[in-house]
Structure 1
Amino acid sequence: MNRLLLSAAVPALLLAAPAMAQTGDPMDQAHYASPRANDLLSLRPIAIEPAPAPHLPTDLSPAGVRAADDHLALEEVNGTEAMAFVASENEKSLATLTGDRRYEPFRQQAEAILTATDRIPSPSFLGDGIGNFWQDAANPKGVWRRTTLQSYRSADTQWETLLDIDALSRAEGKDWVFKGADCLAPDETRCLINLSDGGKDAVVVREFDLTTKAFVDGGFILPEGKHRIEWLDRDTLLVATDFGAGTLTESGYPFIVKSLKRGQTLAQATEVYRGDISDGGYGVSPSVLRNDAGQTVAILINRPLDTFRSETWQLHDERPVKLNLPERVGVRGAMAGQGPDGIVQLVFTLDEPWAYRGRDYATGSLMSVSLATLRPADADEIIVSNAAIQVFAPTARQSIEDVAVFDDRIVAGILDNVRGRAVKFEDRGEWGWPETALPVPENTTIHLGSTSRSDGRFFYSVEGFLTPQTLSLGDAAAATGETLRQAPARFDASTHKVEQFEATSSDGTKIPYFVVMPKDLVLDGHAPTILFGYGGFQVSKPPAYIPEMGKLWLENGGVFVNANIRGGGEFGPEWHQAVLKENRQLAFDDFAAVAADLHARGISSPRRTGIYGRSNGGVLTSVSITQHPELFNAAVIESPLIDMLRYYELPAGASWIGEYGDPRIPEEAAYIARYSGYQQLRPGAEYPRVYITTNTRDDRVHPGHARKFAARLGDMGYDHIYYEETAGGHSNDADPVANARRWARHYVYLAQQLMD
């Protein structure tokens, strides 16, 4: 099955904004800073000021936390008091932001970028052609369309519209947002279309026929929900969804998988697997693995125990069998011979060490293991040569990002000191897995895209902070790439350079960060600087071309910094796991260390440094402001988690307990309370004016976090800006025109704080 998915099917908090070089010897790590009142750099070594002693609520029990919260009404998404608060704040904030002389030029420039007709149409293999979802000024909601590979290669690509989302929305009176399509291999003429009302993660699913270009009369339809769906065959789906009372976990995700036949209702579907209502994570998820010929070779079910630990089951002989796999593992696909007797190798990456058949395999390794030997009942009876192969073992400064699996080879996108490269691994049986590097420019990031298993082709793109995206068609067998499209430059990069530095965190760990700055930058601390960070869920933030940032910020004299702090996946699972739960403070220390190092180098100063983070990055930015207001003069806190003592109460917070801890457990509530931004706000501090923004339709990170933080800032008399969009969801992908207004607001605020 080929997928065109515009948001993650299992989202976590992963849809953060994209991370908005030569390597020299790091400077002496003595820190230099300037007083907030003085824009000039004071070149004297100082340590980062210690964070203020945390204020711990008297009662950390759920009831106590609730009783101490005077803004619970703002958690009612569409409540009368909540929406009155939103309307009042929006009115004030829009006057401040859109009334600025820079707003309209910024908006126009951002809209021109987001709706440009010469953007690269992102391709996905679709049957014997190429599919693409396209949004522009004429179709802000977008059209799903297709063409041939031959036409895609040409300068004058001819597109055939499959589904017009603007027209569908008008016809049905809905605010539909296209969230991707799942198409049945190998011919891919029947697809499941995912439609979101206003941009929410929850979607309605409808069966669509690519031959007639219409929804199937009497076809598969699923009501709005956070579904996990796989095609089993043309008349059967494997479905995990809300089957009624008691079938969702505390996080609001499914834990039951059923087989749904064509013509059946959900109530008539046959159960094939059941987890438990206490399961964590993002819900049980079926996966149908196919070989290069499109034949089904295995049916797997992932049962999450918490955010990161899960059990892997196989539906074998029509019953579920638990596989002997570690709990922290990422299944990437299957390699299989043709026909029912072909040996199936399961390809996966390890997120923890694994001892198997007398050998030890390191965290982060790429593995190929005989599926049959992973079934407990069969393990001792089946003899397979080279049953377990460690295809690739990354070093301490490497990580595996993307993996494309074919029947006799694997292509992997790898980060090496946060720089991208691509490698083909060839299965030579007893002769091992020789590797061949694909051509990738230096100091860039590579993303593997859609694959065509039938002929070993795959799309991949390359980009850098100052390098627009290049799209290529890869040949897995030959380890070569054919350039298909080159995106035009959206800003003048000729005056800028990219350098990579390291800061030293509180425990001595070296934290890399990239700086995009003018070539002639004077190191006097005057440069207006945006420091971006995420630091969670093993999500890497490598170099990325961000045209809005380049046009609205770099061209106006700004500097952009991308901090690769712990919690991300830049150096593999251990880089992430180092800051889980009780160790979360280290991620915040990493970020503060990067800020102080910027000031030490004279790149910027507290007066000229602002921070930006969204989603999990909202935890980071809200904590940074409350712990180290002396380091920053601006913060864009977008779609944020902030109230960490109640996050599990707000959908879909309970699914992230494996990342942050469980506030219902006293010992865990104690360490969470020490940093939770909502509880750590205090009167009399020198917080900069911050900009908090969220979306009413965000059903991944509840808008109550942002609302309550803004309200408490107001209670304490702090100047702040709060704006809440009413459509678009967590991803802000519903409308490019609205997204242009969003970027304009961001950069007007940052210019006001850091340039004026």
Structure 2
Amino acid sequence: MKFPKWFLLMPLMLGACKSKPLQNNATSEVEDPYLWLEEVEGPKALQFAKDENKKTLDHFKKDPLFKSLEKDIRKIVLAKDRVPDVKLRNGELYNFWQDEKHVRGVWRKATVASYKTGSPKWDVILDLDALAKKENENWVWKGSSELPPKYERTFIHLSRGGKDATVIREFNLKTKEFVKDGFVVPEAKNLLTWKDENTVFVGTDYGPGSMTDSGYARIVKVWKRGTPLSAAQVVNEGQKTDMSVYSWVEFTPEKNYTFHTRRLSFYEGIDWYEDASGKKTQIPMPQDAQFNGVFKDHLLYILRSDLKQFKKGSLVAMPFDKIFDGEKAQDSLQLVFAPTEKKFLQWASSTKSYLMLSTTDNVLAKIVKVTYQGPNKWIQQEVSLGQNGMAVVASTEDTSDNYLAVYTDFLTPSSNFLGNAEDSKNEFTLLKKSPERFNAHGMHTERFEATSKDGTKIPYFVVSKESLKKDGKNPTLLYGYGGFEIPMQPSYNGVLGKVWLEKGGVYVLSNLRGGGEFGPAWHQAVQKENRYKVFEDNIAIAEDLIARKITSPQHLGIRGGSNGGLLTGATFVLRPDLFNAVLCQVPLLDMLRYHKLLAGASWMDEYGNPEDPKMREAILKYSPYQKVDAKTKYPEAFFMTSTKDDRVHPGHARKMVAKMRAQGHPLFYYENTEGGHARTANLEQSILWNTLEFTYLWEKLGNKSNQ
């Protein structure tokens, strides 16, 4: 099962005082003296970044801790015994791999039997380093999309420097070569999907007016092999104010289905089915229902609002033949999964004969297998894997009932398993277990709840040594996201474990409203005019940590990226007295202009429209760039971003740094020239990024005894 997912922001983390009054301190566009920093590759802006980078690097590289941290981090990041992440494709395991010799990376595959051995035999499909050298291009891998059921052709997505914008080229998996005169789409925020071997759907920049305000394709055309792109015919078109449009085929074992979507906004869209004659039928579902593929001739949807007898968060199935009945078709909906107070669905994927559900159960991930046994009969069975961590379906394929699953938690390295949904006992074969990267002996995980300002209980995890003294002196890193219905859940981080937890640091993972830990309602509670509540949640956790004497403001740091960068920026500006370290990464910060920068317009469902006077007033209560002022003392924050980030504009971080510098606030800034929204483009850049992070954190939060 394949279906489009438009998660444009990726997740990347506070004391006992009451919140200070919120005051407007607006900076209008006309008054903003730093708009020139929005010119992404303008000479003056690039020089600004270069000068700031030099100051930051000069400072941290002089710290005696820098070299020792870099050594530990390098050993983990470049470890030769790293377990390759794999995906199932037609019975084989595919992997993209980077190391010292393959800085840009190689795309490769192995058999399941070979992968299980100590030295898998990898068949290299594409060497990105060799390709970049040959073509004199700064290629960064952005994935592939194969054509079922033969899986002999694929589209390779290549980015210059890590941007979301990609060049897409057709590739032959048998000959391991790009297809001569094959499908190629120039650099843009492209859509290219298979209709059949000789026909594709393409959404790209066709010229003025062809992209939405969010920077995505407004027009999709059907393109036949052997013809110029200029000859392609329009099959799907939206409005400039829409988020995007896209078209694709659901390839299932029974038959193929063609769909078109007009994405009105981040959480709303209209879907059509197209038959063999080209006739389109609108699927009679609410605009906020999320399409989740086709299974056994049923269309699957996750509800974001209540519908008839079904609660929001439910997975429902509509028999395909009912879509032609108009709104009456909703009477035929069948319940596949219903949420409970603590259990919610994240997504559904399918094998040849079964649905595999990835769910959260009181934040932790669980796997549920669903068997379809005839009309309106969907039987659930929980698949046990691990105890108190994350058991997730990592990959499925429609050509068999095999699937890959992964188990991990904060203190347990991830293990890859092979399962077969046909097995009634749901037993697994262990394929690979990642080595331990730090000494977790004597460490444990605890869960607490903080009470937010409106009385809502906000859960969070604390990972530390069992011997932790609750004396308020523990270096503590609070990490959070709180947006776009993306849950924050346990995971094993070897670098954090080695250079933070092992040295006595405390790690805190928050489950703020806005995330997907407790279904759509948990997210919807802090959308638009209620956005400020997620910052109150974060502040409540910080105060709770201090009240429990786990830490104190002198030893408390916060980190977050993307939407989490906004969380971090707003929290420290609203309550600077709570923190001594702030890691604000690829952030949104100027919330009066976010909708005018790159993909920002697509997020107005989340944050609201600053052009609306009521929303503008609500945004000004927390927008970091507008609220920061010269009279307040702030912690010495560290802002990090990427020049090539074409999702969240680097101007957010640049302008915040320039304004705070002008106000006399001490801070650090680092702008990676590559990486895009992923921050880094290769392992060497990741090593430097991580080393800067933890050198800063120990410098600000640590006791000498920890170092």
Which of 409, 428, 431 is the equivalent residue of 1:484? 431
Offset at residue 427 of structure 1 (A): 1.0
Question: Corresponding residue for 1:544?
Answer: 491
Letter in 2 for 1:367: V
Question: Corresponding residue for 2:305?
Answer: 352
SS in 1 for 2:192: strand
Question: Corresponding residue for 1:467?
Answer: 412
SS in 2 for 1:375: helix
Offset at residue 455 of structure 1 (A): 1.4
Question: Corresponding residue for 1:49?
Answer: 18
How many Å separate the matches in 2 of 1:550 and 1:143?
28
How many Å separate the matches in 1 of 2:495 and 2:156?
30
SS in 2 for 1:224: strand
How many Å separate the matches in 2 of 1:361 and 1:646?
38
* TM-score, structure 1 normalization: 0.90
SS in 2 for 1:55: coil
Letter in 2 for 1:458: Y
Q: CA contact under 8 A between 2:640 and 2:653: conserved in structure 1?
A: yes
Question: Corresponding residue for 2:260?
Answer: 301
How many Å separate the matches in 2 of 1:207 and 1:446?
35
How many Å separate the matches in 2 of 1:468 and 1:402?
24
Letter in 2 for 1:374: I
Which of 70, 73, 76 is the equivalent residue of 1:110? 73
Question: Corresponding residue for 1:567?
Answer: 514
Question: Corresponding residue for 1:313?
Answer: 272
More displaced 10-residue stretch of structure 1: 238-247 or 645-654 = 238-247
More displaced 10-residue stretch of structure 1: 507-516 or 95-104 = 95-104
1:25-174 alignment, distance < 5 Å? 33=15, 48-57=17-26, 65-174=28-137
Question: Corresponding residue for 2:398?
Answer: 453
Does residue 263 (structure 1) correspond to residue 226 (structure 2)? The answer is yes
Which of 520, 532, 542 is the equivalent residue of 2:479? 532
Which of 658, 662, 669 is the equivalent residue of 1:722? 669
Question: Corresponding residue for 1:43?
Answer: none
Offset at residue 751 of structure 1 (A): 0.5
SS in 2 for 1:512: strand
Residues 162-215 of structure 1, C-alpha deviations (whole Å, 9 max, x = no match) = 100011111111110011110100110101000000000000001111111111
Question: Corresponding residue for 2:379?
Answer: 434
SS in 2 for 1:655: helix
How many Å separate the matches in 1 of 2:482 and 2:261?
25
More displaced 10-residue stretch of structure 1: 319-328 or 633-642 = 319-328
How many Å separate the matches in 2 of 1:362 and 1:90?
50
More displaced 10-residue stretch of structure 1: 145-154 or 191-200 = 145-154
Q: CA contact under 8 A between 1:2 and 1:182: conserved in structure 2?
A: no
How many Å separate the matches in 1 of 2:294 and 2:352?
7
More displaced 10-residue stretch of structure 1: 115-124 or 189-198 = 115-124
Does residue 273 (structure 1) correspond to residue 269 (structure 2)? The answer is no
More displaced 10-residue stretch of structure 1: 553-562 or 269-278 = 269-278
Letter in 1 for 2:310: Y
How many Å separate the matches in 1 of 2:624 and 2:517?
26
How many Å separate the matches in 2 of 1:9 and 1:171?
33
SS in 1 for 2:93: strand
Q: CA contact under 8 A between 1:308 and 1:658: conserved in structure 2?
A: yes
Does residue 403 (structure 1) correspond to residue 348 (structure 2)? The answer is yes
Q: CA contact under 8 A between 1:505 and 1:590: conserved in structure 2?
A: yes
Question: Corresponding residue for 1:368?
Answer: 317
Residues 329-385 of structure 1, C-alpha deviations (whole Å, 9 max, x = no match) = 22222113xxxxxxx101221111112xxxx210000112112313345x76x9x9x
Question: Corresponding residue for 2:292?
Answer: 332
How many Å separate the matches in 1 of 2:484 and 2:248?
22
Q: CA contact under 8 A between 1:345 and 1:370: conserved in structure 2?
A: yes
Does residue 12 (structure 1) correspond to residue 8 (structure 2)? The answer is yes
Q: CA contact under 8 A between 2:351 and 2:400: conserved in structure 1?
A: no
Residues 601-645 of structure 1, C-alpha deviations (whole Å, 9 max, x = no match) = 111111110000000011111111111111111100000000000
Q: CA contact under 8 A between 1:258 and 1:272: conserved in structure 2?
A: yes
Offset at residue 287 of structure 1 (A): 2.7
SS in 2 for 1:305: strand
Question: Corresponding residue for 1:556?
Answer: 503
Offset at residue 407 of structure 1 (A): 5.4
Q: CA contact under 8 A between 2:168 and 2:192: conserved in structure 1?
A: no
Q: CA contact under 8 A between 1:272 and 1:320: conserved in structure 2?
A: no
Q: Cα RMSD (Å) of the superposition?
A: 1.8
SS in 1 for 2:28: helix
Q: CA contact under 8 A between 1:128 and 1:187: conserved in structure 2?
A: no
For structure 2, the 5+ residue unaligned runs are none
Residues 544-579 of structure 1, C-alpha deviations (whole Å, 9 max, x = no match) = 111111111111110000000000000011111110
1:113-262 alignment, distance < 5 Å? 113-262=76-225
Q: CA contact under 8 A between 1:608 and 1:633: conserved in structure 2?
A: yes
Letter in 2 for 1:328: D
How many Å separate the matches in 1 of 2:629 and 2:324?
56
How many Å separate the matches in 1 of 2:314 and 2:537?
26
More displaced 10-residue stretch of structure 1: 444-453 or 411-420 = 444-453
How many Å separate the matches in 2 of 1:275 and 1:507?
40
For structure 1, the 5+ residue unaligned runs are 21-31, 34-45, 58-63, 337-343
Q: CA contact under 8 A between 1:292 and 1:406: conserved in structure 2?
A: no
Offset at residue 119 of structure 1 (A): 1.4
% identical aligned pairs: 38
Letter in 2 for 1:113: I
SS in 1 for 2:469: coil
- The count of corresponding residues between Structure 1 and Structure 2 is 700
SS in 1 for 2:678: coil
Which of 245, 266, 269 is the equivalent residue of 1:284? 245
Offset at residue 409 of structure 1 (A): 2.5
Offset at residue 430 of structure 1 (A): 4.9
How many Å separate the matches in 2 of 1:410 and 1:242?
36
Offset at residue 530 of structure 1 (A): 0.2
Offset at residue 9 of structure 1 (A): 6.5
Question: Corresponding residue for 2:450?
Answer: 503
CA change 1:431–1:363 in 2 (3 A) is: closer
Q: CA contact under 8 A between 1:463 and 1:545: conserved in structure 2?
A: yes
More displaced 10-residue stretch of structure 1: 534-543 or 666-675 = 666-675
Offset at residue 733 of structure 1 (A): 4.5
How many Å separate the matches in 1 of 2:570 and 2:672?
23
Letter in 1 for 2:662: D
Q: CA contact under 8 A between 1:535 and 1:617: conserved in structure 2?
A: yes
Q: CA contact under 8 A between 2:391 and 2:405: conserved in structure 1?
A: yes
Letter in 1 for 2:113: Q
Offset at residue 288 of structure 1 (A): 1.2
Q: CA contact under 8 A between 1:615 and 1:639: conserved in structure 2?
A: yes
SS in 1 for 2:430: strand
Letter in 2 for 1:571: F
More displaced 10-residue stretch of structure 1: 546-555 or 312-321 = 312-321
Offset at residue 461 of structure 1 (A): 0.7
